[in-house]
Amino acid sequence: MQSLWESTAGHTGFESLEGDLKTDVLIIGGGMAGVLCAHMLHRRGIPYALVEARTVGGGITGNTTAKLTSQHGLIYQGLIRRFGAGLAGKYLRANEEALEQYRKLCAGVDCDFEERDSYVYSLDDRRKIEREIAALDHLGFRAEFTDSLPLPFPVAGALRYPGQAQFHPLKFIRAISKGLHIYEHTAVRELGNMWAATDRGKITAEKIIVATHFPILNKHGGYFIKLYQHRSYVTALKNAADVGGMYVDEAEKGMSFRNYGELLLIGGGDHRTGKKGGNWQELRDFARRHYPGSEEKYFWAAQDCMSLDGIPYIGAYSPGTPGLYVASGFNKWGMTSSMAAAMLLCDLVEGRPNPYAGLFSPSRSVLRPQLAINAFESAAGLLTPSARRCPHLGCALKWNACERSWDCPCHGSRFSQEGKLIDNPATGDLKK
């Protein structure tokens, strides 16, 4: 199973790291966030190295729906209610600045960048949409209401964000990674005080950025309780509709739509990793009902780290680990969040002030309702009897019949039927 992006992008072909290495900044993880950090540090003339366990862009980035937008669901009314208009405005500005950076970088890159309006819709609650428009108006952002969309079902209302964008993420990442100091097939097995051990050597650095999707260091930061992972599914259809923009349902288990060339990408079937959900069957049933003449050309799944409060964790890994930084918890909006993360982290490693450091600080309060849910799932996973247990923290694994994988409902690690690691935070295969 390869995504549309993986099937239509070239290979990077970076060598693996043999032996030891010393550098100013070590970046662990070659997804969008890590590569953008490397790109920015390279342009600033700061010595760095990026190591990736597999291939650049071959993990979560290769499975995104690749929307570049500040529209992250109906988030802004909630941010204003919980944190105030000041913080909500910062979140909006951080993502708008990230979008503008993509515009600048994509101007010189063949990555199918296209300006598109972005919509969030509700099937049954017009008031939710109206409240979000009022929240955005309060923050000074122009958004528009509509109840007419080119989708095959009626909506109670929708909110249009003008001037957003979409692109081919792997064409982009292949282009900007050329000439960077990157090592592929170089997995970090252990992380210490300003050093990282690989299978073939040791890397020492003055600063380390952990951009591994889910943070791999357990004993600091409490990420195993601050994050959970969520799976969602995508099908790419030929001979379907051209919907013109990018669309997402405000409901947690709703559907998303966007086009790429002659293909219609439909997302949905969501569930917490290790739990049951609609997966591709839900999307295929929808396509048969609404696009009966369509043909599925690609299908894939994505995995997202979800934070406690809807804001990513970007900044110092923990108060007790100076020089160690993290980017995680992108909440299904990894493209703009990756750019915001790279801009912030590159300032932090240089000691520059950044207006968004407090907003994204991983050390902010964890007293959120989701914390109790995460704690319950972890306890249940530890107490469930099972012969198959995750090497991360010992939770019982669940068999995912749809994807034929062993999934951890506690923290989201996934393994093949044979026990090979697919998704972290685990750093190795299942023991036989």
Question: CATH 3.30.70 region(s) of the chain?
Answer: 228-304
What average pLDDT does the chain have?
Answer: 96
pLDDT attached to residue 415: 95
pLDDT of residue 401: 93
Residue linked to tokens 């959900």: 277
Give the residue among 366, 330, 70 at the shortest CA–CA distance from 211: 330
Q: Tens of pLDDT along 230-269?
A: 999 999 999 999 999 999 999 988 999 999 999 999 999 9
Res. 279: pLDDT tops 80? yes
Let me know how long the chain is: 432
Q: Are 77 and 131 in contact (CB under 8 A)?
A: yes
133 — pLDDT class (breaks 50, 70, 90):
very high
Confidence of residue 376 (pLDDT cuts 50, 70, 90): confident
Cα-flanking dihedrals φ and ψ of residue 104, to 5°?
A: -65, -45
Token pair 């005080």 is found at 193
Q: Which residues belong to CATH 3.50.50.60 in the chain? A: 4-64+170-226+309-360
DSSP conformation letters of 168-216: -HHHHHHHHHTTS-EESS--EEEEETTEEEETTEEEEEEEEEE-SSS--
DSSP-assigned beta bridge partners for residue 256: 248, 267
Give pLDDT, residue 377: 84
pLDDT of residue 11: 82
Kindly list the distances between the CA atom of residue 91 and the CA atoms of 38, 77, 380, 417, in Å, as whole numbers in the listed order: 23, 12, 34, 40
pLDDT-derived band at 198, boundaries 50, 70, 90: very high
The answer to whether residue 383 scores a pLDDT higher than 80 is no
Residue 27, token pair as written in the block: 């970046």
pLDDT of residue 432 exceeding 80, the answer is no
For residue 21, give the 3-state DSSP assignment. Answer: strand
pLDDT score at 12: 86
Place of tokens 């097995």: 189
- pLDDT of 227 over the 80 cut: yes
**Per-residue confidence band for 430, with pLDDT thresholds at 50, 70 and 90:** very high
Q: The domain at 4-64+170-226+309-360 falls in which architecture?
A: 3-Layer(bba) Sandwich (3.50)
Tell me, what's the pLDDT at 361?
98
pLDDT of residue 108: 85
Q: What pLDDT, on the 0 to 100 scale, is given for residue 91?
A: 98
Q: What value does the mean pLDDT take over residues 389-407?
A: 94
| Dist CA 390 CA 406 (whole Å) | 9
pLDDT in tens, 59-110: 999 999 999 999 999 999 999 999 999 999 999 999 999 999 999 999 989 9
User: What percentage of the chain carries pLDDT values higher than 90?
Assistant: 91
CATH number for the domain formed by residue range(s) 228-304: 3.30.70
Report DSSP state, residue 429: P
Q: What is the pLDDT of residue 238?
A: 98
Structural element, H or E, at residue 284: helix 279-290
Check pLDDT > 80 for residue 189: yes
Which residue, chain included where needed, has tokens 């050309």?
Answer: 297
Fold topology of 369-423: Rieske Iron-sulfur Protein (2.102.10)
- Provide the pLDDT for residue 367: 82
Average the pLDDT over 11-23 and give the result: 95
CATH 2.102.10.10 residue ranges for the chain = 369-423
Residue 413: pLDDT band (50, 70, 90) is very high
373 pLDDT band, cuts 50/70/90, is: confident
**Other C-beta atoms within 10 Å of 234: how many?**
23
Q: How far is CA 46 from the centre of its chain?
A: 26
Going 283 to 129 to 118 to 37, the CA torsion angle's sign is negative
Torsion angle (degrees, nearest 10) of CA 140, 143, 145, 150: -170
Instruction: Give the pLDDT of residue 381.
Output: 80
Task: For the chain, give the percent of residues with pLDDT over 70.
Answer: 100
Q: Kindly state the average pLDDT of the residues 219-238.
A: 96
For residue 385, what pLDDT is reported?
A: 80
16 DSSP 8-state letter = P
Beta carbons of 248 and 151 less than 8 angstroms apart: no
